[in-house]
């Protein structure tokens, strides 16, 4: 394998020994840490200009650092990193001898920009200044490498400005957004004339803006306003700067791939399936794109408009895609239920797929992982809800975990979820239902918009119908039922515990909002329009938001609860978890509350992540398996 295993810490052998145990026959019972991938990645990557190296962000060292690895295979090399900062975005300079990247501290999402040389040395900060959100453009450089494009809210915390930074003089050219629009820089055109950006109002209202940098008095202009409201997410430019590719739902509920011609101001479809096109890249006459078909990624490609064959790839989810400048190969970040996320190469000439990394943990070398069944179950109003159903080995009946994704505008997909936590719970005999309830992406805009200003309404009803579906299965034991979620999923988990009439055995909330009014008021200032559109305006909708808040119905929670929270969380502040924990403890409800002082919204520190997920596994096992004395333990490996 091409990835080099880091030396274990002095504590790790003891932790792994403690995580697993043996039964009376001396057979090994795999612990959670046996299921942990050897490394995890941020969901982005970048091919070098010559196509020979891949840059990525991995926490192989314990923190998410910047790494590179040869496309031909070989040992990776750490290029830059910090003990307390997470590398989030990165891009190669046009010369290919340096990388620019952003990093934030302890998950606070206050990103700073750095440059580092491949030959070595410490990163240097670009444009130092106050803490703020600096977001790199996807393709941030002009052809000369002199100008760098990014977005920042340094002028006004509530406004994301477009910035073109002259790296030679240090000068900034700044463009401010219209009221209610959050700018995000996308790229500089190949001729250096145009700055391409998006104007964000909500996840279903994203416009395209162009700025003519050759005009000293130019202002960003919306080029999609005549096409109406919708999603327009621009990507790769045509090599001659005549237009750009984009993803859009202009023609239907689903996201198509298209091309916008600057001269004719026309929008032409490239691929318009009845599923979402989720990624697209273009180089040297080759176009390659991925389609999200019921949660799984399917690749398509064409050369000069004619389809080209692709090598077979494992069934899974492609979360990042980059095409070499000569169109000969693509690098992908691919994840599946049966194998953790990996970097892989698609050789379009030799028709070969090969992994560039190997992150498989110990457990996957001794057992067969459980692959979920893609199902639908009926909900109200004649709708069907798509879901992933994981069934453990053995006849059952099995206790069940209802696992709810974040977002809510996101999607539960067949990946190696939560650093192996799903597979470990399945190994212990716990079934998992992971639904894509109202608000989820991937099933059309109408399904996605159902939850707008209706959190804890139609979505909770969909989750209720999910439990009813479980009750129809002869291999599930819904008297042993738990619920878990993170972010929005934490809110939904708390809502289930408080408002659905089931005898819940346990619940887990990871950075879950408990009070929608205080959540909306504390949201980042650049999110004001988004919050009002998707959640509700806390000034005009406070009564409705409070009625839908789990803290309002906290007296309905009787099940043991495990709450996990990052102290630096800028999206769901610690006060959200504090409120629900206080209310439950005042009533004598069993609550475990773990606060991570060096984390934000989710985990960036590997040790923290493993500690938290191992604790969740132990908590759920205690309340779903250990308490079910009349139910047999699952068979273990011998």
**What share of the chain has pLDDT > 90, as a percent?**
76
**361, 419, 423, 365: which is closest to 392 by C-alpha?**
423
The Cα–Cα gap between 209 and 207 comes to: 7
Strands 339-347 vs 352-355: parallel, antiparallel or unpaired? antiparallel
**What share of the chain has pLDDT > 70, as a percent?**
94
H helix count then E strand count, the chain:
10, 38
Q: What is the residue whose two structure tokens read 């200032």?
A: 525
pLDDT of residue 9 exceeding 70, the answer is no
User: Quick check: 468 and 440 in contact, CB under 8 A?
Assistant: no
Widest pairwise Cα distance in the chain: 79
- Domain spans in the chain, listed from the N-terminal domain onward: 132-234, 370-513+557-624
pLDDT of residue 89 exceeding 50, the answer is yes
pLDDT at 28 (0 to 100): 57
Least confident of 23-27, 85-89, 104-108, 208-212: 23-27
Q: Does domain 132-234 have CATH number 2.120.10.30?
A: yes
Confidence of residue 628 (pLDDT cuts 50, 70, 90): low
The model's pLDDT over 493-517, given as tens digits with 9 standing for 90+, comes to 999 999 999 999 999 999 999 999 9
pLDDT of residue 366 exceeding 80, the answer is yes
The model's pLDDT over 21-72, given as tens digits with 9 standing for 90+, comes to 443 333 457 999 999 998 989 899 999 999 999 999 998 888 899 999 999 9
3-state secondary structure of 486: strand
Residues 6+ apart with CB under 8 A from 630: none
pLDDT at 533 (0 to 100): 86
Q: Report, as an integer, the average pLDDT of 549-568.
A: 96
Tokens at residue 222, please?
Answer: 């919306």
Q: Report, as an integer, the average pLDDT of 623-628.
A: 80
pLDDT of residue 334 exceeding 50, the answer is yes
pLDDT at 348 (0 to 100): 94
The Cα–Cα gap between 419 and 366 comes to: 17
The model's pLDDT over 270-303, given as tens digits with 9 standing for 90+, comes to 999 999 999 999 999 999 999 999 999 999 999 9
The Cα–Cα gap between 638 and 636 comes to: 6
Note the Cα 622 to chain centre separation in Å: 29
Least confident of 199-203, 304-308, 440-444, 473-477: 199-203
* Domain 132-234 and domain 370-513+557-624 have a common topology: no
Sequence-ordered alpha helix ranges (H) in 75-146: none
DSSP-derived secondary structure letter, 605: B
Confidence of residue 203 (pLDDT cuts 50, 70, 90): confident
pLDDT at 18 (0 to 100): 36
pLDDT at 6 (0 to 100): 23
The model's pLDDT over 479-497, given as tens digits with 9 standing for 90+, comes to 999 999 999 999 999 999 9
**178, 179, 184: which is closest to 162 by C-alpha?**
184
String of DSSP letters for 54-92: EEEEE-TTSB-EEEEEETT----EEEE--SSEEEEEEEE
Q: Report, as an integer, the average pLDDT of 312-330.
A: 93
3-state secondary structure of 122: coil
Note if the bond before 408 is cis, omega within 30 degrees.
yes
pLDDT at 617 (0 to 100): 96
User: Quick check: 493 and 499 in contact, CB under 8 A?
Assistant: no
Return the CATH superfamily for domain 370-513+557-624.
Alpha/Beta hydrolase fold, catalytic domain (3.40.50.1820)
Phi, psi of 105, deg, nearest 5: -105, 120
DSSP-derived secondary structure letter, 363: G
Q: Report, as an integer, the average pLDDT of 151-175.
A: 93
Mean pLDDT score of the chain: 90
pLDDT at 627 (0 to 100): 65
């Amino acid at each position: 394998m091409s990835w080099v295993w880091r030396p274990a810490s002095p504590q790790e052998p003891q932790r792994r020994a403690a995580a697993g145990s043996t039964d009376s026959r001396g057979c090994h019972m795999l612990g959670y840490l046996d299921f942990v991938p050897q490394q995890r990645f941020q969901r982005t990557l970048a091919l070098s200009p010559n196509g020979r190296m891949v840059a990525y962000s991995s926490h192989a060292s314990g923190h998410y650092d910047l790494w590179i690895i040869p496309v031909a295979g070989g040992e990776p090399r750490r290029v830059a990193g910090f003990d307390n900062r997470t590398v989030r975005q990165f891009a190669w300079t046009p010369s290919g001898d340096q990388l620019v990247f952003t990093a934030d501290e302890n998950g606070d999402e206050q990103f700073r920009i750095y440059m580092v040389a491949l030959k070595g040395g410490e990163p240097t900060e670009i444009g130092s200044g106050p803490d703020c959100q600096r977001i790199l453009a996807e393709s941030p450089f002009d052809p000369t490498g002199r100008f760098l494009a990014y977005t920042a809210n340094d002028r006004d915390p509530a406004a994301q400005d477009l910035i073109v930074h002259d790296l030679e003089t240090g000068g900034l050219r700044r463009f401010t957004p219209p009221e209610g629009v959050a700018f995000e820089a996308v790229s500089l055109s190949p001729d250096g004339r145009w700055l391409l950006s998006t104007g964000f109002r909500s996840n279903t209202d994203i416009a395209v803006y162009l700025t003519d940098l050759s005009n000293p008095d130019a202002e960003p202009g919306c080029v999609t306003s005549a096409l109406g409201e919708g999603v327009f997410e621009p990507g790769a430019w045509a090599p001659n700067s005549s237009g750009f590719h984009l993803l859009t739902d202009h023609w239907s509920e689903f996201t198509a791939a298209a091309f916008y011609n600057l001269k004719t101001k026309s929008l032409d479809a490239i691929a318009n399936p009845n599923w979402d096109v989720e990624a697209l890249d273009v180089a040297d006459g080759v176009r390659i794109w991925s389609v999200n078909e019921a949660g799984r990624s399917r690749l398509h490609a064409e050369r000069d408009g004619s389809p080209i064959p692709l090598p077979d790839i494992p069934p899974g989810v492609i979360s990042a895609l980059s095409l070499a400048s000569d169109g000969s190969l693509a690098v992908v970040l691919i994840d599946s239920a049966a194998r953790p996320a990996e970097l892989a190469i698609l050789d379009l000439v030799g028709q070969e797929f090969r992994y560039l990394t190997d992150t498989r943990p110990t457990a996957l070398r001794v057992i067969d992982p459980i692959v979920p069944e893609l199902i639908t179950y009926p909900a109200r109003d004649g709708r069907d809800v798509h879901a992933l159903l994981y069934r453990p080995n053995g006849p059952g009946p099995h206790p069940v975990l209802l696992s709810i994704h974040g977002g809510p505008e996101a999607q539960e997909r067949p990946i190696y979820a939560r650093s192996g936590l799903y597979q470990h719970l399945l190994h212990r005999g716990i079934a998992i239902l992971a639904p894509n309830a109202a608000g989820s992406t991937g099933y059309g805009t109408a399904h996605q918009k159902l939850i707008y200003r209706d959190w804890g309404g139609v979505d909770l009803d969909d989750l209720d119908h999910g439990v009813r579906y479980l009750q129809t299965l002869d291999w599930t034991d819904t008297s042993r039922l738990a619920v878990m979620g993170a972010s929005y999923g934490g809110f939904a988990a708390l809502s289930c515990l408080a408002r659905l009439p089931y005898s819940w055995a346990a619940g887990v909330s990871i950075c879950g909002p408990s009070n929608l009014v205080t959540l909306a008021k504390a949201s980042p200032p650049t999110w004001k329009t988004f919050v009002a559109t998707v959640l509700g305006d806390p000034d005009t909708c406070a009564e409705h938001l409070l009625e839908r808040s789990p803290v309002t119905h906290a007296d309905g929670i009787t099940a043991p609860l495990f709450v996990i929270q990052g102290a630096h969380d800028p999206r769901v502040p610690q006060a959200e978890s504090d409120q629900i924990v206080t209310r439950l403890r005042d009533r004598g409800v069993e609550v475990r509350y773990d606060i991570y002082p060096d984390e934000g919204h989710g985990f960036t520190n590997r040790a923290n992540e493993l500690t938290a997920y191992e604790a969740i596994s132990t908590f759920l096992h205690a309340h779903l398996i250990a308490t079910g004395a009349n139910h047999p333990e699952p068979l273990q490996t011998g």
